[in-house]
């Protein structure tokens, strides 16, 4: 009888412990869900990194599934994913567009020469305005864009072989079929 | 208005009385033409920025953070306000790009109702438990001696301590 008196407080206490434990286990650096997924990619028109006379805008790739990879020469973890992006480009799975974010032309171009250029186009976003419209908050970021020009997936942080195999490639295949 | 009154001491009163619409119109023109004073702009920028979460340093506000993205967002807030955007428009701009998470005070919707209602819900649960406990004790007879002669001297504190645990 006396034990039952403690049941409620102890139960509540355990519930509190569980809530806090779950909160502690969550990764505070976990990528944020983007509100842009499912929405059309924001319209923009930028000059290309490799040629200031040429322009690029998302409408140039309308009707195709494409990948938008946000990078910068100052971004260390961009180097980590770069071989995978290049591999993807070599296989010709889909057009890959680079968005050179908050960078300068010179170092950006040099970076592509050093590490290889997998991009069909590289849009040069010097002031980061387009990056802001895309909700970019940590490089590298990768967007999958469908034939209708909608963002279907966003990956924050370096693309890994795992992410490519389990998330990006299946989605790309599905979108290309549809 | 005071400035306007000083500039046109004679006509101000007449304008107010006879042509209110004209005054409103001219005021709007003056306001649109005059840039927001920078002190006021700074103040508004700061107030808004302190409602926004810095996304790369998630426990800081955009106002507090020196992270590059935060500095850039602050600049964006300021330039939008300078162009005449309302606080609401600036908030919408941020939410469209970074999601509700960017607001330290998220709006009430289907995914945040528990966050907003949680404390009240807990309080009500606690109060409900307290009342039912108290009633049960009163109903279980006025045999106070039986309840209090148990070996637990803090029995009567049970309900309120449960309530405290809730809070």
Confidence (pLDDT) at B154: 54
DSSP H helical ranges for chain A: 2-25, 76-91, 105-115, 129-133, 161-163, 169-177
> Are B97 and A28 in contact (CB < 8 Å)?
no
Give the contacts of A143 (CB within 8 A, at least 6 positions apart).
A41, A67, A68, A70, A134, A151, A153, A154, A155
Q: Which of A16, A32, A137 has its CB closest to that of B69?
A: A137
Tell me the chain B residues in contact with residue A13 when contact means C-beta distances shorter than 8 Å: 165
Tell me the chain B residues in contact with residue A132 when contact means C-beta distances shorter than 8 Å: 72-73, 76, 97
Tell me the chain A residues in contact with residue B106 when contact means C-beta distances shorter than 8 Å: none
| A70 alpha-carbon distance from chain centroid | 7
Does this model's pTM top 0.80?
Answer: no
Q: Which of B72, B101, B152 has its CB closest to that of A128?
A: B72
Give the contacts of B139 (CB within 8 A, at least 6 positions apart).
none
| Separation between Cα atoms, residue A140 and residue A135, nearest integer Å | 12
| Separation between Cα atoms, residue A153 and residue A172, nearest integer Å | 10
Of B164, B167, B160, the C-alpha closest to B130 is B160
Which DSSP helix (H) or strand (E) runs through B24? Answer: helix B20-33
> Are B165 and A138 in contact (CB < 8 Å)?
no
Structure confidence by residue, pLDDT tens digits, B72-97: 999 999 999 999 999 999 999 999 99
- By the 10 Å C-beta count (0-12 exposed, 13-18 middle, 19+ buried), B10 is classed as exposed
Which DSSP helix (H) or strand (E) runs through B18? Answer: helix B11-18
Interface residue of A11, A135, A141, A157 to substitute, partner B, most B CBs within 10 Å: A135
Q: Do B45 and B78 contact (CB within 8 A), yes or no?
A: yes
The span from the first CA to the last CA of chain B, in angstroms, equals: 51
Confidence (pLDDT) at B29: 52
Structure confidence by residue, pLDDT tens digits, B125-163: 999 989 998 998 888 765 555 445 445 555 455 555 555
> Are A12 and B161 in contact (CB < 8 Å)?
no
Structure confidence by residue, pLDDT tens digits, B20-58: 565 555 555 555 556 677 888 899 999 999 999 888 877
């Amino acid at each position: 009888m006396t034990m039952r008196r403690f049941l409620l407080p102890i139960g509540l206490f355990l519930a509190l412990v569980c809530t806090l434990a779950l909160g502690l286990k969550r990764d505070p650096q976990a990528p944020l869900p983007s509100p842009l997924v499912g929405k059309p990619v924001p319209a923009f028109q930028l000059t290309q990194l490799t040629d200031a006379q040429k322009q690029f805008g998302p409408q140039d790739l309308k009707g195709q599934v494409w990948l938008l990879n946000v990078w910068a020469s100052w971004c260390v973890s961009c180097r980590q994913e770069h071989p995978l992006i290049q591999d993807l480009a070599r296989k010709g799975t889909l057009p890959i567009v680079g968005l050179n974010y908050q960078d300068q032309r010179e170092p950006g171009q040099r970076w592509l020469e050093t590490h290889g250029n997998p991009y069909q186009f590289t849009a040069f976003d010097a002031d980061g305005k387009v990056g802001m419209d895309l909700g970019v908050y940590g490089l590298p970021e990768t967007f999958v864009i469908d034939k209708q020009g909608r963002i279907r997936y966003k990956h924050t942080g370096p693309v890994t072989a795992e992410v490519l195999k389990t998330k990006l490639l299946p989605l790309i295949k599905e979108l290309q079929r549809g | 208005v005071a400035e306007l009154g000083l500039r046109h001491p004679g006509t101000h009163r007449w304008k107010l009385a006879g042509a209110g619409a004209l005054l409103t119109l001219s005021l709007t023109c003056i306001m649109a033409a005059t840039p927001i004073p920078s002190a006021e702009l700074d103040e508004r920028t700061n107030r808004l920025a302190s409602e926004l979460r810095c996304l790369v340093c998630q426990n800081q506000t955009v106002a507090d953070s020196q992270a590059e993205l935060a500095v850039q967002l602050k600049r964006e807030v300021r330039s939008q306000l300078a162009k005449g955007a309302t606080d609401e428009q600036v908030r919408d701009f941020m939410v469209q790009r970074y999601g509700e998470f960017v607001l330290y005070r998220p709006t009430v919707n289907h995914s945040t109702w528990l966050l907003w209602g949680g404390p009240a819900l807990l309080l009500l649960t606690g109060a409900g438990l307290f009342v039912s406990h108290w009633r049960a004790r009163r109903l279980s007879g006025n045999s106070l001696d039986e309840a209090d002669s148990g070996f637990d001297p803090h029995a009567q504190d049970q309900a309120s301590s449960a309530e405290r645990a809730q809070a």
